[in-house]
Homo-oligomer: A and B are copies of this chain.
Amino acid sequence: MTVWSGGRTGVNYSAGMAVDQGGRARRRLSTEERREQLLAVGARLFSESPYNEVWIEQVAEIAGVSRGLLYHYFPAKKDFFAAVVERESERMLRMTAPVPGVPVREQLTAGLDAYLEYVETHAHGYRAFHRADAAGDQAVRRVYRRALGAQERQILAALAADPEFGPVLESRPDTRLAVRGWLAFTTAVCLEWLRGAPLGRDQVRNLCARALLGVLAP
């Protein structure tokens, strides 16, 4: 197994350095809370820097933990990034899960609202997620592709179950590709939006909704 590597040499963090700067006594986190905290730190770092510029010392310092503890949770950097990507993927899937029985046209608006709410409030996680394909590490990329595949399947299942879209799409061979393309559309639009494109959330939602309905139109 590859361990974390490429750390900045010559940098030494003393054990106490990252301890709560306010001087407050720190409560011991549970295993689950600690993991959550480390993943949040990871989302921020991986969203701000390319994969190979994220160092173990930074993560440990910001989280206020020893390197040993970090290794305990994530034996290698790729495991850490893969866990960040999986956490974001699970959140997105949960937030945009279809509601059985509700027409796709309605769900699309509500689903995109939830998605854009996520994009805005978890901008770091969202950016980090979409950097996974650029990580250069095969294992991380696999996790990313699996996550995209899960989003694709979730949308295809909702479409198939819909009285309006279901029958149309069944007869069309390009439905899967259309959904794959639309996910790329939405991602590109949202990343540009986060970079400061001057549009409100409703405008972005309407643009993305129009793109899906336009491409699925009979």
Which residues of A are interface residues toward B (Cβ below 8 A)? 50-52, 133-136, 138, 173-174, 176-178, 180-189, 192-193, 197-199, 203-204, 206-208, 210-211, 213-215, 217
In the bound complex, do residue A188 and residue B180 qualify as a contact, i.e. CB atoms below 8 Å apart?
Answer: yes
A110 to chain B, nearest CB (A): 20
Main secondary structure of the interface of A (DSSP, over half): helix
Residues of B near A217 (CB, < 8 A) are 210, 214
Residues of B near A185 (CB, < 8 A) are 181-182, 184-185, 211, 215
A45 to B135, CA, bound (A): 18
> Can you give 19 contacting A-B residue pairs, CB < 8 Å?
A133-B134, A173-B199, A173-B203, A174-B199, A176-B197, A177-B199, A177-B204, A181-B184, A181-B186, A181-B207, A181-B208, A182-B185, A184-B185, A184-B188, A210-B214, A210-B217, A211-B214, A211-B215, A214-B215
In the bound complex, do residue B174 and residue A207 qualify as a contact, i.e. CB atoms below 8 Å apart?
Answer: yes
A206 to B215, CA, bound (A): 10
Residues of B near A203 (CB, < 8 A) are 173-174
A186 to B186, CA, bound (A): 12
A94 to B208, CA, bound (A): 29
In the bound complex, do residue A51 and residue B136 qualify as a contact, i.e. CB atoms below 8 Å apart?
Answer: yes
A168 to chain B, nearest CB (A): 13
With both beta carbons as reference points, the residue of chain B lying nearest to A189 in the complex is identified as B181
Residues of B near A208 (CB, < 8 A) are 181
Residues of B near A136 (CB, < 8 A) are 50-52, 134, 136
A174 to chain B, nearest CB (A): 5
Residues of B near A188 (CB, < 8 A) are 180-181, 183-184
A181 to chain B, nearest CB (A): 4
